[in-house]
């Protein structure tokens, strides 16, 4: 009796698997935020082994950052002094919670690759646009001003989502926006 011919090994399409993981991550991070999304859920939605996240992206944090980059592209975003950008970030953090780029401002990651990826995201998407704004306006120490402004904003966002500040957490979004705009407005000097 002869055995049936063996099925050919199914080749994994790495590019397709990577894209499926990225798409599933974008959907889940949008629906649930960073903290409430697991790598297992991402893998299940993508229809691939969740261990591929580490292979293709390095880990959940790097996948989150890749998903942000895929969502927003390489076009530099408006700076935090832009009302729509500020409103959008406040709403996103209220809905999804703070992501790795906000967290790195308060607590360093143990993994140097994760630390570097989150820090780069923070600087590229928040600090750099403000530094350019302050430079155009001729303000002194534009890098320091930008970092200080981002640190203040991230502090508000983290404080609002942590539950440590009940009035901040319960604040009307429009009232909060006006107060944060006043807080972040550059001081001339």
Q: What is the DSSP string of 38-61?
A: -HHHHHHHHTS-TTHHHHHHSSHH
56-65 tens-digit pLDDT: 999 998 898 8
CA-wise closest residue to 28 among 97, 104, 106: 97
27-70 tens-digit pLDDT: 998 888 888 899 999 999 999 999 999 999 999 988 988 888 78
CATH for 14-74? 1.10.10.60
**How far, in Å, CA of 51 to CA of 128, rounded?**
34
Q: Crossing angle for the helix pair 173-184 and 83-96, nearest 10 degrees?
A: 120
103-161 tens-digit pLDDT: 999 999 898 888 998 899 999 999 999 999 999 999 999 999 999 999 999 999 999 99
SS3 167: helix
Task: Convert 156-185 to b/e letters by CB count within 10 Å (16 or more is b).
Answer: bbbebbeeeeeebeebeeeebbeebeeebe
**How far, in Å, CA of 186 to CA of 80, rounded?**
11
């Amino acid at each position: 009796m002869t055995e049936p011919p063996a099925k050919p090994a199914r080749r994994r399409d790495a590019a397709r698997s990577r894209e499926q993981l990225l798409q599933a991550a974008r959907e889940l991070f949008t629906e649930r935020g960073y903290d409430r999304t697991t790598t297992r859920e991402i893998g299940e939605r993508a229809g691939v082994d969740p261990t591929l996240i580490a292979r293709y992206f390095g880990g959940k944090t790097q996948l989150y950052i890749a998903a942000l980059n895929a969502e927003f592209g390489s076009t530099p975003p408006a700076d935090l002094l832009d009302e729509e950008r500020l409103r959008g970030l406040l709403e996103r953090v209220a809905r999804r919670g703070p992501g790795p780029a906000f967290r790195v401002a308060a607590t360093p990651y143990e993994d140097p690759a994760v630390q570097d990826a989150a820090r780069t995201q923070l600087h590229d998407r928040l600090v750099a646009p403000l530094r350019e704004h302050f430079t155009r306006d001729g303000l002194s120490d534009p890098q320091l001003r930008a970092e200080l402004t981002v640190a203040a904003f991230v502090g508000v966002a983290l404080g609002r989502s942590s539950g440590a500040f009940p009035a901040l957490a319960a604040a009307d979004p429009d009232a909060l926006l006006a107060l944060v705009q006043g807080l972040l407005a550059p001081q001339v000097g």
